[in-house]
Structure 1
């Protein structure tokens, strides 16, 4: 975009209620009626994001989407769909990229590396808990392999113990097998309400692992608060991409992470949320238009492989062969505070020393 030319940015937002059919219809509405130049699909279940991606491909409109690389990329091929800050499970980052070989960019190795910090204090027996959907099945398969290769035992892996149908309300038989198998670590990729149900039942059955991590269910305050009592203390999300303490600034205007969190709280009265990482997705969309120097969808799409800038979520550099930009992830644990929202996510560990902890690791779980 030429320096003398300025374009107003209009954000049109719809709520798909996590309904795939509604999401598909709204994506078509955005393209055909609202005439958008780019679609942005924020973090959510693949059953919603993938159909929207298919709409974008059909109408040849650039789209920034969400998902885990292995399951998202496997639903392609894609020409017009790209990702914001997509978690890569285990796929190696190409050698010519600045992130190559660095463990903090691999979501599943964050599970393993954080667990390994306390390896000598564990039974080395792991319980896996995941939804029976595209992301959950991919997680279960890859996590079990990584854990076993590292010398851990996955309880009930031969019968996919812990792979459950979303909306399940009784997890007692699964929990009893975890307890009988002496699992003292939980790795999960579940849904917030389901995790809360399982965790409350685990407490009532007397199963309390020393460490519990979930990469999807423990991202949002409301899901954590709904667990009840003090049961959420120390629960961990092993791949969070954003936190108010991170040392980044927005590309447009220089807003800091702390500034963004404060603005969110002032305007909503609520605690900050990791979903604020999608601010960088809007920055990425604007960068694509700037690089393209045009509002033509084809030119915008051709600009994505050239994106490389510092955003409020860190460096965004698209890897063209995967249409993706892996993020640097840190591990958070939930702790109680004296603030109005009671619970807050604190950084306790990151493979990259540039990301500083904001709280000591809570181990074992109280």
Structure 2
């Protein structure tokens, strides 16, 4: 049925409205909130609650509970107050499942807006379903290139119903290069890029790390794409040793890095700097590595030290992070800020929409967003391509402190407005 609606040029809302014209009881088929005393706006939410990407969704319950509390009185729009219903579903870290639950939210739950986060395995299939069914969609937690080009986006035209905010590969490259240049080590880099959307984007010979490294005087050894969840990195380790690599970089899920890091130690490969995207984001994983986690480096999306506050609650980045720790008993994690910002933007869109019964009016409000959030400013008028708004990025290191492993910002070349909180030390 989805294909029929798309082929005939009508979405699920116009189908229902049009079908009601020839029926005796149109109120059954039209949106009930038009006549209800307490109209409801529905937000669909998709994230990887389970599976290998579950770390990205660790704080989902805390964030959504906080948003529900902040919106308990509803959202004012055009003289009416709309109650907010958030329907959250688990992608199980599987792109096919992400598409399936997005379809359920759109066609079954009939959400007005759908949001999603956490790597292209979630953002892309959800966005594709939203685009197909003409439902406004906002996503985050994925570099913009895998999101945009991974969906075959055309910079000249972009997409119609799907919008994204996050940083890009150019930002992570700048952050990593700045940190490596400060380290003083040999400019020989070993690349670990998996055969998935992120890995293929990071390792892309035109838009990814290779041309940027070569252009900055670094020598890259790239043994080629490996399959995610592989159990043997011997060939990569051998290539890095032969090339004299003192830096290792790439984009990996945590289980893959754990396997690589253990085998590197066993095979006598000891780089002076190890800077990995994705794998090293979460304190629980770093703690699981023991002393081998001390000194690992990564991109830093968001910390309690970021100088931003929530447009929804007024909480500072520190207050939001401290609230999670107090509620869960666990350390703060970087996705907290972006998960919260996702609902900041959505709430702002709902407040500004000219007609909440019209998806095109909601879409116009999305495109017109100009909002300071707890992760930085979101404005789609100034992105690198249509449908993308960039947020600031820095880099840093896990260092053993009085309270265990702590993430400190050691390099802020790409976002000087975010203060550094420590200095880089070499491994070993």
- Tell me the TM-score range normalised by the shorter chain: 0.7 to 0.9
Q: Can you give the 5+ residue segments of structure 2 that lack an aligned partner in the other structure?
A: 1-75, 154-158
Distance, in Å, in 1 between the alignment partners of 2:307 and 2:121 is 34
Map of 1:301 onto structure 2: 363
Is the 1:330–1:349 Cα contact (8 Å) retained in structure 2? yes
Q: Distance in 1 between matches of 2:379 and 2:100?
A: 31
Give the alignment of 1:169-180 within 5 angstroms. Answer: 169-180=231-242
1:94-131 deviation per Cα after TM superposition (whole angstroms, max 9, x unaligned): xxxxxxxxxxxx2222122221223xx32211101111
Residue 198 of structure 2 corresponds to residue 132 of structure 1: no
How many residues get paired? 338
Residue 83 (structure 2) pairs with residue 83 (structure 1):
no
- Please say if 1:151 is aligned against 2:214: no
> Which protein is bigger by CA-based radius of gyration?
2
Residue of structure 1 in register with 2:258 after alignment: 196
2:146 to 50, 66, 71: 71
Contact 2:138/2:164, CA 8 A, preserved across alignment? yes
Q: 1:328 aligns with which of 392, 398, 403?
A: 392
- C-alpha separation in 1, matches of 2:323 and 2:121: 32
* Deviation string, structure 1 residues 223-256 (Cα, Å, up to 9, x no partner): 3233x22111111112x22101111111022111
Tell me the residue number matched to 2:102.
27
Are the counterparts in 2 of residues 192 and 224 from structure 1 also a CA contact under 8 Å? no
**CA–CA distance in 1 between the matches of 2:349 and 2:233?**
46
In structure 2, relative to structure 1, the CA distance for the partners of 1:345 and 1:17 (3 Å cut) is same
Q: Deviations over 1:65-96 (max 9, x none)?
A: 24322222121442111113x22123xxxxxx
Return the match for 1:281 from 334, 339, 342.
Answer: 342
CA contact (8 A) 2:78 2:354 kept: no
The separation in 2 between residues aligned to 1:23 and 1:2, in whole angstroms, is 31
Q: Which runs of 5+ in 1 are unaligned?
A: 91-105
Q: 1:246 and 1:47, CA in 2 relative to 1: closer, same or farther beyond 3 A?
A: closer
RMSD over aligned CA atoms reads 1.8
Q: Deviations over 1:142-165 (max 9, x none)?
A: 21111111111112x4xxx05211
C-alpha deviation, 1:58, in angstroms: 1.3
- Counting only pairs closer than 5 Å after superposition, residues 102-141 of structure 1 correspond to structure 2 as 106-118=171-183, 121-141=184-204
Number of the residue aligned with 1:94: none
Distance apart, 1:2 and its partner CA = 4.5
Residue 291 of structure 2: SS of its match in structure 1? coil
TM-score normalised according to structure 2 size: 0.75
Aligned partner of 1:231 among 292, 295, 298: 292
Tell me the residue number matched to 1:258. Answer: 318
Please give the secondary structure, in 2, of the residue aligned with 1:14. strand
Q: Deviations over 1:169-206 (max 9, x none)?
A: 11122112201211001111111110111011111222
Which of residues 292, 308, 316 is equivalent to 1:248? Answer: 308
